[in-house]
Amino acid sequence: MKRAKIDALLASDMPLDQVCIKGWVRTKRDSKTFSFLEINDGSCLANIQVIANEDLENYDDVVKATTGSSLSIRGKMIESPGKGQKYEIQASHIKIYNVAPDNYPLQKKRHSDEFLRTIAHLRPRTNKFGAAFRIRSEIAWAIHQFYHEKGFRYLNTPLITGSDCEGAGEMFRVTALDPALVQKLGKMDFEQDFFGQEANLTVSGQLSAEMFALALGDVYTFGPTFRAENSNTSRHVAEFWMLEPEMAFCDLEDNMDHGEELVKYLVNHVRNNCEQDLNLFSKFVDKSLPGLLDTLVNTTFERVTYSKAIEILKASKKHFEYEVSYGLDLQSEHERFLAEEYFKKPVFLTDYPKTIKPFYMRMNDDNETVAAVDLLVPRIGELIGGSQREERLEVLEGRMDEMDLPKEDYWWYLESRRYGSVPHAGFGMGFERFIMLVTGITNIRDVIPFPRTPGSIEF
Ligand code: 4AD
Ligand code: MG
């Protein structure tokens, strides 16, 4: 039986004469003739208290099962006379799987996030990280539910790719070339490599998703993406999960409507399904979290152009570390100022200069800006990045020439504009950033099981 089910069973007046729970000891207190064990089985935040009496046949061993030990307990659920819990288990049998020694690193006390990162293999056993990873799982599930309800098709795009979607060149190379051969030849001869050409880990499934949107209508991908950006920030990791919806017969406005609906749906889902875990974050991590979640669900997101945002930033007279100027990319401090301080809610920025955006974004009539959209949210900055796609073959080819992109490598992408091209749009939402948003966790390394960052691939 899982701890998470017990409250509901008790509420339905089920007799719980024989329950069995398997989990790990959080704490143990011994008195003369019995011990109290706080057991957590990972299914939810709450522990269950177990009373082990000295008449248990292996009581001497049970007494040795301190924090971190793994047990299976059978017994009867009784109303608890003590305070702190309504029910407890009067154990009739306890099986001990493993007794954790005294040097178990997670003794009952507060540990810093930095320390817990050094024991990422054990940190999901803490209240905070257990809650974060249960919420992560719940959001992943809600994403699929949202798209299934809307009739989108789920697509798996390749992780190994020959093309650079974002054109930023921040890719991890995939090769099977023998280093000895490379040394002998004095170069990487990709023709002799596994695929006969250069291959990389994908930075985005978008280009593939577009092909499927132009066949199935509405699709989404949800999977790992990889970026070799050497940026050691609290919002970047080298391997992260991205959700990418792509919708045919859809423009930039539809794209924003969709993004707003998605964010509201997911926040509602977490509020309705992760109450206990969410409370932990509101109480101990970020007291302003309930207010922010309210804002996300109940206010209409702002929509302004990039150039308007530049004006706002300039007029703010606020001191920024990085320069604000039309044509420069916004830094996270600018994005946060707009969402957190100026609008005090999520804001979609649209119509960025073409010079700071990738080749596939749809050219606006001014020939200077493209139909790009980023969603900026309080505390995080950019949560979503997307655009309406350039569906006009000649315009797309023109952009690729301007940007010096090898058109022959993208021949299949260009063919989609030759045969049955339609307006379409989509975006990417950083999954980890969304988890940060709804938990108040401020470092992306703490919302992904085993973070990959420059210089660090432990675990
Ligand atoms: O804005 P990005 O680069 O957009 C794309 O890759 C598009 N091809 C997506 C599309 O239109 N289908 O990335 C999308 C989102 C960002 O807004 C951010 O939330 C997240 O992915 N992201 C990262 N998250 C964690 N670590 C990183 N290094 C990230 N880079 C981007
Ligand atoms: Mg972006």
Residue in 166, 227, 162 with CA at minimum distance from that of residue 198: 162
> Distance, CA 453 to ligand 2 centroid (Å)?
18
DSSP states along 302-337 = EEEEHHHHHHHHHHT----SS---TTSPPPHHHHHI
Mark residue 178 as left, alpha or beta (left: phi above 0; alpha: psi -120 to 50; beta: remaining): beta
pLDDT in tens, 392-445: 999 999 999 999 999 999 999 999 999 999 999 999 999 999 999 999 999 999
Can you tell me the mean pLDDT for 84-96? 92
Q: How many degrees, rounded to 5, is the angle at CA 300 between CA 344 and CA 439?
A: 60
pLDDT for the residue 104? 95
pLDDT for the residue 309? 98
| Nearest-ligand number for the alpha carbon of 221 | 1
pLDDT for the residue 360? 98
- Tell me: pLDDT of 82 over 90: no
> Distance, CA 385 to ligand 2 centroid (Å)?
4
User: Predicted confidence band at 389 (pLDDT cuts at 50, 70, 90)?
Assistant: very high
Can you tell me the mean pLDDT for 139-151? 98
User: Predicted confidence band at 164 (pLDDT cuts at 50, 70, 90)?
Assistant: confident
Question: Amino acid identity of 259?
Answer: G
The protein residue with its alpha carbon nearest to ligand 1, atom 4, reads 385
- Tell me: pLDDT of 275 over 80: yes
The protein residue with its alpha carbon nearest to ligand 1, atom 23, reads 430
pLDDT in tens, 297-315: 999 999 999 999 999 999 9
Residue 247, H or E segment: strand 239-248
Mark residue 84 as left, alpha or beta (left: phi above 0; alpha: psi -120 to 50; beta: remaining): left
DSSP states along 192-224 = GSTTSS--EE-S-SHHHHHHHHHHHSEEEEEEE
In the structure, which protein residues have their CB atom closer than 6 angstroms to any atom of ligand 1?
Answer: 165-166, 204, 206, 227, 229, 236-237, 240, 242, 244, 382-386, 426-430, 432-433, 444
Closest atom, ligand 1, to C-alpha of 229: 28
In the CATH scheme, what is the code of domain 6-98? Answer: 2.40.50.140
What SS3 state is found at 432? helix
Q: Within 10 Å of residue 445's Cβ, how many Cβ atoms?
A: 20
pLDDT in tens, 194-245: 999 999 999 999 999 999 999 999 999 999 999 999 888 999 999 999 999 9
**Helix pair 252-273, 289-298: axis angle to 10 deg:** 140
> Distance, CA 383 to ligand 2 centroid (Å)?
8
pLDDT for the residue 140? 98
- Tell me: pLDDT of 16 over 80: no
> Distance, CA 432 to ligand 2 centroid (Å)?
14
Can you tell me the mean pLDDT for 101-121? 94
pLDDT in tens, 116-131: 999 999 999 999 999 9
> Distance, CA 358 to ligand 2 centroid (Å)?
10
The protein residue with its alpha carbon nearest to ligand 1, atom 20, reads 430
Q: Report whether 65 contacts 37 (CB < 8 A).
A: yes
Which residues 6+ apart lie within 8 Å of 336 measured at CB?
376, 378, 379, 380, 381
Delimiting residues of CATH 2.40.50.140 domain(s) in the chain: 6-98
Class of domain 123-168+203-446: alpha beta
Both structure tokens of 255: 């794209």
CA 193 from chain centre, in angstroms, equals 34
In this prediction the pTM is: 0.96
> Distance, CA 424 to ligand 2 centroid (Å)?
18
Query: Cα-atom radius of gyration of the chain, to the nearest Å?
Result: 27
Calculate the average pLDDT of the chain.
Answer: 95
- Tell me: pLDDT of 280 over 90: yes
Can you tell me the mean pLDDT for 171-200? 93
Delimiting residues of CATH 3.30.930.10 domain(s) in the chain: 123-168+203-446
Pocket test for ligand 1, best of 239, 433, 446, 452 (most atoms within 8 A of CB): 433
Task: Match 């056993």 to its residue by tokens.
Answer: 125
| Nearest-ligand number for the alpha carbon of 429 | 1
DSSP state at residue 44: S
Closest atom, ligand 1, to C-alpha of 231: 28
